[in-house]
């Protein structure tokens, strides 16, 4: 039976967070709000199949969470963000990004097999 794990990240402004995550290649899939003025819960994903849930609901998860994303094109992200990935001792290249709410997003590209 296939499974998929989806990290839930607490954010203070979900709509602003969607804009921040677009820089990483995410697009909004859907959003839910029980009624006007209530907190947002938004699903974002990449074409490669990575999905994150962004929530303004305080009881969904603690603040300052983390997610580990794997890509096969870290160089494109390095160029778009004007950052340099670090070569890890095990051969992967990784970048650590921190979103406006303090969530830690580590992006990794596997090294040669």
CATH assignment at residue 78: 3.10.180.10
Half-sphere exposure of 9 (CA within 13 A, CB side): 27
From residue 87, how far is each of 33, 61, 102 by CA, in Å? Answer: 41, 31, 23
How many distinct structural domains can be found in the chain? 1
Q: Please write the tens of the pLDDT for every residue from 1-26.
A: 779 899 999 999 999 999 999 999 99
Establish if 2 belongs to a structural domain. no
| Stated pTM of the model | 0.92
68 in any annotated domain: yes
Domain hosting residue 37, numbered range: 8-109
63-76 per-position pLDDT tens digit: 999 999 999 999 99
Residue 103 is assigned to a structural domain of this protein: yes
């Amino acid at each position: 039976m296939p499974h998929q794990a989806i990290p839930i990240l607490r954010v203070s402004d979900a709509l602003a967070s969607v804009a921040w995550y677009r820089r990483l290649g995410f697009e909004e899939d859907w959003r839910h709000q029980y009624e006007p003025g209530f907190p947002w819960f938004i699903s974002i994903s990449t074409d490669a199949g990575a999905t994150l849930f962004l929530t303004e609901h305080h009881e969904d998860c603690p603040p300052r969470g983390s997610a580990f994303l794997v890509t096969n094109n870290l160089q494109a992200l390095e160029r778009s963000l004007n950052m340099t990935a670090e070569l890890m001792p095990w051969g992967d290249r990784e970048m650590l990004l921190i979103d406006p709410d303090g969530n830690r997003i580590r992006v990794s590209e596997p090294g040669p097999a």
